[in-house]
Copies of this chain bind each other. A is one copy, B any other.
Amino acid sequence: MNLLLLEDGDFVAEGRALLRGRRLKHLHEVHRAEAGDNLRVGRLAGLMGEGRLLRLDADEAEIEILTLDQPPPAKLPLTLLLALPRPKMFKRVLQTVASMGVPRLVLLNSYRVEKSFWQTPFLQPEAIREQLILGLEQARDTVLPEVTIEKRFKPFVEDRLPALAAGSLGLVGHPGAWPACPRAVDAPVTLAIGPEGGWIPYEVDKLQEAGLAPVQLGERILRVETAVTALLARLF
């Protein structure tokens, strides 16, 4: 938690917030904070600045906001389409996506996404939000990515993806004899990353028809989380 991210519900008065739960525990156990300490704070969807810890008890922490004058870092010019990862990986991927500055994430079905993954409680909006917040706190950002869920591959890719990708560089990360992923692009990007095991050829064809060009990162097969980070670090 490199940024203490405050939400409307945390405020008890103008410039005063009370914390309980996870963030309180973190202040105690990881920051080992004490009353009087200054902390980096941010307001969800707003500015960042400095706060002072007025009081830190077992039950709650009271924060005084000193300044809120810095904008959060810029987001990447990116829409990321991601085949729904397995539940264990999914939580970490959400944190990574938020911490790297992805503004729009579309969770997509694919032949190799097990049907059971769509039943996971991690897909509930509150559970997704919780992981995104952890990513924002890590990276020092205040703006939640927008996450949409597309459980049907074909209608999404045929009917909505062409408009979504219009005016951007459309790419599909996919191992094989494709061009290498471009570097340091100076354009908005729509990037699709497949499931463990990759897209099936039919899906690659459909993504290509929608305007996305396959690109690869070399012979090594990377975990989804690693592939997301590696592709974004190379593209931007």
Contact A226 B184 (CB under 8 A): no
CB distance from A102 to the nearest CB of B (A): 11
Q: Is residue A79 within 8 Å, beta carbon to beta carbon, of the partner chain?
A: no
Q: Closest residue of chain B to A2, judged by CB?
A: B221
CB distance from A19 to the nearest CB of B (A): 21
Interface string of A201-226 (1 = CB under 8 A from B): 00000000000000001111111001
Stoichiometry, copies per complex: 2
Q: Closest residue of chain B to A232, judged by CB?
A: B230
Contact B73 A139 (CB under 8 A): no
Across chains A and B, which 3 residue pairs bring their CB atoms closest together, nearest first? A230-B233, A139-B220, A233-B233
Which of B100, B222, B226, B231 interacts with A220 by CB under 8 Å? Answer: B100
Bound complex: CA of A95 vs CA of B225, how far in Å? 12
Contact B73 A219 (CB under 8 A): yes
Q: Closest residue of chain B to A230, judged by CB?
A: B233
Chain A interface bracket (under 10, 10 to 19, 20 to 34, 35 or more) = 20 to 34
Contact B140 A101 (CB under 8 A): no
CB distance from A59 to the nearest CB of B (A): 27
Bound complex: CA of A184 vs CA of B220, how far in Å? 17
Given contacts A2-B221, A96-B223, A138-B221, 7 further A-B contacts (CB under 8 A): A99-B220, A100-B222, A138-B222, A140-B221, A229-B233, A233-B234, A234-B234
Interface string of A76-110 (1 = CB under 8 A from B): 00000000000000000001100111000000000
Interface string of A175-196 (1 = CB under 8 A from B): 0000000011000000000000
Which of B138, B184, B226 interacts with A100 by CB under 8 Å? Answer: B226
Q: Is residue A141 within 8 Å, beta carbon to beta carbon, of the partner chain?
A: yes
Known A183-B183, A184-B183; judge A99-B230 contact (CB<8 A): no
Contact A222 B139 (CB under 8 A): yes
**Which residues from B are CB-within-8-Å of A223?**
95-96, 99, 138
Write 13 A-B pairs (CB below 8 A) sorted by A numbering.
A2-B221, A95-B223, A99-B221, A101-B220, A138-B221, A138-B222, A139-B220, A140-B221, A183-B183, A229-B230, A230-B230, A231-B233, A233-B234
CB distance from A134 to the nearest CB of B (A): 10
